[in-house]
């Protein structure tokens, strides 16, 4: 499955951009009950203008859930995305414009 998105430009603060206790809202989320999923060529872009770093994708940690060639890209502005998926993959921001994760499972 191909997926591409761009996050909202203006989350005002991390406290205002929370999903329960999780920082940020995922650009893409595989639900906790999913046991089989294959994602290919999935990317999330960010242009933030409030200086807030947010989390990106979330997925259950199970052998049947696999992502291939996923990435995040910092377009411009301030802030960024803290990881590609579940804390894996370097943050993207004004000093690191793109992070790729070849395989995540």
Q: Indicate if 6 belongs to the active site.
A: yes
Q: List phi, psi (to 5°) of 31.
A: -60, 155
Q: CA distances (Å), 58 to each of 36, 50, 63, 77, 86, in order?
A: 14, 23, 15, 24, 5
Among residues 6, 23, 55, 58, the one annotated as catalytic is: 6
Active site residues: 6
């Amino acid at each position: 499955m191909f997926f591409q998105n761009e996050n909202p430009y203006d989350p005002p603060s991390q406290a205002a951009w929370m999903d329960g206790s999780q920082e940020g809202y995922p650009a893409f989320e595989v639900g906790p009950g999913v046991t089989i999923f294959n994602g290919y060529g999935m990317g999330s872009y960010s242009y933030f203008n409030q200086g807030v770093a947010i989390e990106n994708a979330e997925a259950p940690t199970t052998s049947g859930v696999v992502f291939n060639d996923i990435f995040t890209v910092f377009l411009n502005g301030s802030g960024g995305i803290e990881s590609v998926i579940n804390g894996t993959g370097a943050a993207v921001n004004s000093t690191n414009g793109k992070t790729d994760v070849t395989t995540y499972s």
